[in-house]
């Protein structure tokens, strides 16, 4: 069936077509243009002047709908995928937390089963391992019981056994972390800098050893610090100075204030920034208390001020954001052009994940993963490979 979305504000790599049309067939985008399209035997969908966007891509998500990937069940995976889909996310990287080796193995084994049965939720792009190789003093809400230095025998066995691993977040200053970065890079796995006590020279060395991304910039890392009375540039400044580094940011309006979101955009630009939720199981719910990580062994958290915190309020504990909120904050509060925001929510994440040929933009030949939303970023309709999977009344 040929389907045409018409009368929409279509967000394309060439700008927004105010009265555009999009043709999709067999799950693929076949044409995008300004003005109407006239195609014989096509089914027409009136966008009613809503925005027509590529599906949102979340490279860092832990949970939603009262489920966490660390629960290590296929149902948890599917619940999270379906929870975020209705908020515009059409693809995601399921993300772990620092946990026991057995729990991590269970999650990895569960991925393939869930991946094959996921037909109506956000598509899975591979596993993102966040930890357990972190700096203890920048652990944030990561469970300190399991934080440790890289173990070559351990990580080599994990990588060899699980082809689903697409990204690993590590503190690069730890003993053995540079060797791990080189191995990840050689296996086409994204090596990402996270929960780190590194300063500028450490990051320069990390980049030379395969690290290419900074996990949730500003969170769980150094800015300018003093050591032996002398100021040193930290990971934050290194991310700004090293052009090759991509960064991801939690743009929920809580983890980073609006001026910092604007600063990151001004320095790095949309082509180097991925917006992420870092959401936990409370995302998409109205819970005021939750569990970070495995339901049986995770850490209690509280939900207040539209964010998750440790009970003593000493640190954030992930977010409860969904992707539509990220877009809304960057567009409506930070004042960034919507086309640039969608680049950060779709196009740049697709490029980082290596799926830019099939996802991340409304381009001819790409998958018809499409989101319709209004001028307040309320999601109206979602398509996965041309199939409608969500629609509001």
For residue 246, the model assigns a pLDDT of: 98
Q: Domain check: are 262 and 324 in the same one? A: yes
Categorize the per-residue pLDDT at 112 as very low, low, confident or very high, splitting at 50, 70 and 90: confident
CB 61, CB 278: distance < 8 Å: yes
**Whole-number mean pLDDT of the chain?**
96
Q: Which residue(s) pair with 29 in the sheet?
A: 24
Q: Domain check: are 386 and 280 in the same one? A: no
Is residue 247 in some structural domain? yes
Q: Domain check: are 68 and 192 in the same one? A: yes
Is residue 217 in some structural domain? yes
For residue 120, the model assigns a pLDDT of: 87
Report, as an integer, the average pLDDT of 143-172. 96
Q: How many domains does the chain have?
A: 2
Residue 305 has pLDDT above 80, yes or no: yes
For residue 55, the model assigns a pLDDT of: 98
pLDDT digits 0-9 by tens, 164-211: 999 999 999 999 999 999 999 999 999 999 999 999 999 999 999 999
Q: Which residue(s) pair with 165 in the sheet?
A: 127
Report, as an integer, the average pLDDT of 92-99. 96
Please give the Cα distance from 8 to 372 (Å, whole number): 9
In the chain, % of residues over pLDDT 70: 100
Is residue 359 in some structural domain? no
Residue 116 has pLDDT above 90, yes or no: no
pLDDT digits 0-9 by tens, 322-335: 999 999 999 999 99
Is residue 376 in some structural domain? yes
Residue 48 has pLDDT above 90, yes or no: yes
Q: Domain check: are 37 and 94 in the same one? A: no
pLDDT digits 0-9 by tens, 61-81: 999 999 999 999 999 999 999
Report, as an integer, the average pLDDT of 277-290. 96
Please give the structure tokens belonging to residue 150.
């890289």
Please give the Cα distance from 384 to 92 (Å, whole number): 13
Q: Domain check: are 94 and 132 in the same one? A: yes
pLDDT digits 0-9 by tens, 355-374: 999 999 999 999 999 999 99
Residue 155 has pLDDT above 90, yes or no: yes
For residue 119, the model assigns a pLDDT of: 85
Is residue 358 in some structural domain? no
Is residue 360 in some structural domain? no
For residue 393, the model assigns a pLDDT of: 76
CATH code at position 160: 3.20.20.140
Please give the structure tokens belonging to residue 198.
């590194």
Q: Domain check: are 191 and 299 in the same one? A: yes
Q: Domain check: are 177 and 249 in the same one? A: yes
For residue 106, the model assigns a pLDDT of: 95
Q: Domain check: are 47 and 82 in the same one? A: no
Q: Domain check: are 40 and 85 in the same one? A: no
Q: Domain check: are 179 and 304 in the same one? A: yes
CATH code at position 40: 2.30.40.10
Q: What are phi and psi of 324, to 5 degrees?
A: -60, -35
For residue 156, the model assigns a pLDDT of: 97
Q: Domain check: are 164 and 305 in the same one? A: yes
Please give the Cα distance from 21 to 52 (Å, whole number): 9
Residue showing tokens 């100021």: 231
For residue 113, the model assigns a pLDDT of: 86
Is residue 239 in some structural domain? yes
Host domain of residue 381: 2-53+365-391
Q: What are phi and psi of 3, to 5 degrees?
A: -125, 135
Please give the Cα distance from 197 to 203 (Å, whole number): 10
Q: Domain check: are 266 and 371 in the same one? A: no
Please give the Cα distance from 214 to 222 (Å, whole number): 12
pLDDT digits 0-9 by tens, 342-358: 999 999 999 999 999 99
């Amino acid at each position: 069936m040929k389907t045409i979305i018409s009368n929409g504000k279509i967000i394309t790599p060439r700008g927004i077509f105010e009265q555009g049309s999009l043709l999709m067939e067999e799950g693929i985008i076949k044409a995008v243009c300004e003005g109407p399209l006239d195609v014989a035997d096509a089914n027409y969908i009136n966008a009613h002047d809503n925005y027509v966007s590529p599906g949102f891509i979340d490279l860092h998500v832990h949970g939603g709908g009262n489920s966490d990937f660390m629960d290590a069940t296929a149902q948890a995976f599917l619940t999270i995928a379906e929870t975020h889909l209705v908020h515009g996310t059409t693809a995601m990287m399921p993300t772990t937390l620092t946990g026991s080796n057995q729990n991590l193995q269970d999650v990895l084994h569960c991925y393939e089963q869930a991946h094959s049965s996921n037909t109506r939720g956000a598509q899975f792009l591979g596993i993102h391992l966040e930890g357990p190789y972190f700096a203890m003093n920048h652990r944030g809400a990561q469970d300190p019981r399991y934080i440790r230095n890289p173990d070559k025998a351990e990580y080599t066995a994990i990588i060899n056994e699980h082809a689903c691993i697409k990204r690993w977040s590590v503190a690069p200053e730890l003993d053995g972390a540079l060797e791990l970065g080189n191995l990840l890079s050689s296996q086409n796995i994204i090596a990402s800098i996270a929960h780190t006590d590194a300063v500028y020279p450490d990051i320069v060395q990390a980049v030379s050893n395969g690290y290419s991304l900074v996990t949730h910039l500003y969170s769980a890392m150094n800015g300018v610090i003093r050591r032996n009375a002398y100021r040193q540039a930290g990971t934050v400044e290194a991310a700004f100075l090293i052009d090759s580094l991509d960064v991801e940011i939690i743009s929920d309006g809580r983890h980073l204030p609006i001026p910092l979101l604007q600063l990151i955009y001004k320095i790095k630009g949309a082509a180097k920034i991925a917006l992420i939720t870092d959401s936990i199981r409370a995302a998409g719910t109205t819970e005021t208390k939750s569990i970070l990580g495995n339901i049986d062994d995770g850490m209690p958290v509280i939900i207040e001020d539209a964010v998750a915190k440790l009970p003593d309020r000493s640190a954030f504990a992930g977010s409860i954001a969904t992707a539509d909120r990220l877009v809304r904050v960057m567009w409506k509060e930070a004042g960034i052009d919507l086309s640039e925001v969608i680049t950060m929510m779709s196009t740049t994440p697709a490029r980082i994940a290596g799926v830019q040929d099939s996802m991340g933009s409304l381009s001819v030949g790409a998958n018809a993963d499409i989101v319709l939303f209004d001028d307040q970023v309320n999601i109206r309709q979602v398509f996965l490979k041309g199939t409608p999977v969500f629609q509001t009344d």
